[in-house]
Chains A and B, each alone.
Chain A
């Protein structure tokens, strides 16, 4: 039971509590770079999902073969191989998307999320856990990227996936679509996540407190009844 719970925990924690972008502040460069349009964010999210799963599997399989001293260069070469695969596939099948964000696909190589998960998780855990971790983390990344891209596309250019949004399409707030706007929206979202984290931890603390109170009162009741007996 606890084993099952820990597996679910590995999968879920990347989405909010350990969100790679908003909480761990990893992989900001491709995150901000492709967040101007929703379609780019979907492409980037899928690319990161593929690279992260493949590199986590490869590294957790090879973890006993790679000498400790050269592990970082070895991880980088493994990651670079999968990024090359993604780059060639996107170049062949989605040339338009590829042209929009060519360099950012390449920059997945130095994306701290991928290298960070390789070093912190896949090099210490078995294949199944590593795959779950990769899926969770990339869902977290995708969720953050999709949120950011939606805000920037809807307000910045008044469209969503190319469809016009009624009022904003005629008067878009152009600055949100520009690089400067990306940083400001990012700052606001980070502040919101700080607030959310604080709120959630306070609520869970309250829950624990009230549970303890109930337990204490139960204990005292038992004591009372015992005394009465």
Chain B
């Protein structure tokens, strides 16, 4: 039950892009067509799930027992950078077709705020256990993918609209994103408490 609450919370209520603004750069940059949105979303979800697993272990098994919690930023960003590199090599070795599909987006993930954001959120702020952290990473990735795909379909439609000169491109994308965020505001935290009163 708690897992379902995490899923709903990270996809709809605390959506990483629309509510917390993590990963807004790919949201604006890579949302021009559905295919690349799907590729980016899949790659980010994969790295987020792995990154939460590895950083949880590093923080709780190495840094915390040694009282070296203050090293968390350096440790986490190095883990994420190494992980992205590793994923790139593994995918290239075992599934060249997937590598071709994700290839360009993989290196971009290191500097995606959403990955560092979920590790900080799940491990430091929420203090989840190992499996909950991994699940939170996966859910946040799903939320990111959902919004990216929605946005890319909207932007493909926008291509055929008459947009005022100065609003073309990024400004209208932001306003569209804002209207979408307004729709997501309907998912209030009270939904969770109504669905799961015993939480």
Are the C-beta atoms of A180 and B21 separated by less than 8 Å? Answer: no
Are the C-beta atoms of B178 and A181 separated by less than 8 Å? Answer: yes
User: A97 at interface (Cβ–Cβ under 8 A)?
Assistant: no
Give Cα distance in the complex from A194 to B164, angstroms.
Answer: 12
Chain B contacts of A32 at CB under 8 A?
A: 21, 24
User: A87 at interface (Cβ–Cβ under 8 A)?
Assistant: yes
User: B103 at interface (Cβ–Cβ under 8 A)?
Assistant: no
Are the C-beta atoms of B170 and A107 separated by less than 8 Å? Answer: no
The count of chain A contact residues (Cβ–Cβ below 8 Å) is 41
Are the C-beta atoms of B166 and A195 separated by less than 8 Å? Answer: yes
Are the C-beta atoms of A198 and B178 separated by less than 8 Å? Answer: no
Are the C-beta atoms of B178 and A187 separated by less than 8 Å? Answer: yes
Which of B120, B172, B173 is in CB contact (< 8 Å) with A103?
B120
Are the C-beta atoms of B73 and A110 separated by less than 8 Å? Answer: no
Are the C-beta atoms of A83 and B113 separated by less than 8 Å? Answer: no
Are the C-beta atoms of A183 and B77 separated by less than 8 Å? Answer: no
User: B137 at interface (Cβ–Cβ under 8 A)?
Assistant: no
Are the C-beta atoms of A109 and B73 separated by less than 8 Å? Answer: yes
Are the C-beta atoms of A29 and B174 separated by less than 8 Å? Answer: no
B contact set with A: CB distance below 8 Å: 18-25, 28, 70-71, 73-74, 77-78, 81, 110-113, 116-117, 120-121, 125, 164, 166-167, 170-175, 177-179, 181-182, 184-185
A contact set with B: CB distance below 8 Å: 25, 28-30, 32-33, 72-73, 76-77, 80-81, 83-84, 87-88, 102-103, 106-107, 109-110, 112, 115, 175, 178-184, 186-188, 190-192, 194-195, 198
